Amino acid sequence: MRACALVWTLAGSLLGCATQHVGQRAGLAADAAQALTCPTDVSAVLPSWAEDRVLIDTQRLFAHPRLPRLLARTLDQASARALVTRAEQFGYEVRTLERVAIAMTARHTTLYVAQGPMDTGRIVQHLYDRLREPRRLHQDAAQRTRVEGRLGPTLSTLVTAPTCRMVAYTEGPEGTLADRLNAPTAASPESPTSAPSPSELSEPMLHWHSTQRFVGVSPSSDALMSQVRAMDLRVEPTAEGLVLELTLLGALAADAETRLRRAVRELADTPMGVLSAAAHWTAPERLSIVRETDGTTRLRTVAPWEAVEALAEGLGGHP
């Protein structure tokens, strides 16, 4: 239940943040351009050691017949108007982005990476105009632009790669993370200690990997989750609803399945669980729990569209 709510929170609030400060700098003559190696994907820019990494296939999300409307329902009218106003000011259209990636580090830095058609010139200028002095703007012969300065107390860094149709933006002390966009070979491979076993959902619409400690979720899960070193959530739409696949990485106790099912029942009894009838789609016959040979534990269920709609209504505060 909490996983489903987190999906919509991430897809709504983080997707809006991920596209606030992206842009393109026009300018230098074509003969001054130099060769540029583009990252293979927005995910290649994220540091593997980040506490949280989120990948969103925004192109598929907004092309889906149900999800754009449901996503809009998670926002109140004021938030929806703010997103439209921000898009007009910053020169981007969320629905035209192809992929978005987000990383959050232990040092309270958030890195956003976006790919797709963007009016980067307007965004670079808009961000630069808002930064406090001292502020810096640099553009190289390949039209790659780097902007750095402070928005209030927060260090903000924007890096663009127009040839790759990609941008990276950070908020927090680790501004150099944005430079990974133009140094894709520096992207670290996935750490074997935190990589989940292969999943049927190899390219899900939303993928969230976290190494944070998730305690306080429910009384039954706290002791169990203290043994989890990482979790991996994959979300994929189907005709029936949203497939939710949660993989827990860690040496869990032998009675992990029993304790997990008890924790799921507790979550189903929460207000949001009751609202979405979670007791139905997390029942033992619908929620599979499999212990893999590599020691990981995989939970999988399908939240029907009626449940997702109810959850969207609840998150948006609609009656």
Helix axes 2-9, 305-315, angle to 10 degrees: 60
User: Tokens in use for 254?
Assistant: 């032998």
Mean predicted lDDT score pLDDT of the chain: 81
Q: Which residue has the higher pLDDT, 3 or 152?
A: 152
First-to-last C-alpha distance (Å) of the chain = 20
| pLDDT value of residue 108 | 96
- How does pLDDT run across 126-164, given as a tens digit for each residue? 899 999 999 999 998 888 999 999 999 999 999 999 889
Please report, for residues 31, 65, 71, 217, the alpha-carbon distance to residue 303 in angstroms, rounded to integers and kept in the order given. Answer: 54, 17, 15, 19
- How does pLDDT run across 164-192, given as a tens digit for each residue? 999 999 999 999 999 999 885 544 444 43
Distance CA 227, CA 150 (A): 39
Q: State yes or no: pLDDT of 278 exceeds 70.
A: yes
| pLDDT value of residue 183 | 80
Structural domain boundaries in the chain: 2-186, 206-315
Q: State yes or no: pLDDT of 236 exceeds 90.
A: yes
| pLDDT value of residue 184 | 57
User: Left (φ > 0), alpha (ψ -120 to 50) or beta: where does 15 sit?
Assistant: alpha
Contact between 276 and 248 (Cβ < 8 Å):
no
| pLDDT value of residue 138 | 95
| pLDDT value of residue 6 | 39
Q: What is the mean pLDDT of residues 87-104?
A: 80
- How does pLDDT run across 288-301, given as a tens digit for each residue? 999 988 879 999 99
Contact between 122 and 184 (Cβ < 8 Å):
no
Q: Which residue has the higher pLDDT, 162 or 217?
A: 162
Nearest to 155 by CA among 181, 131, 176, 173: 173
Distance CA 208, CA 52 (A): 7
| pLDDT value of residue 66 | 94
Residue 224, exposed/middle/buried by CB under 10 A (0-12, 13-18, 19+)? buried
Contact between 249 and 196 (Cβ < 8 Å):
yes
Nearest to 301 by CA among 312, 290, 291, 317: 290
Check residue 292 and report its DSSP letter.
Answer: -
Q: Could you tell me the pLDDT band of residue 23, with boundaries at 50, 70 and 90? A: very low
| pLDDT value of residue 231 | 93
3 state DSSP class of 317: coil
Distance CA 155, CA 9 (A): 24
The percentage of residues in the chain with a pLDDT greater than 90, rounded to a whole number, is 53
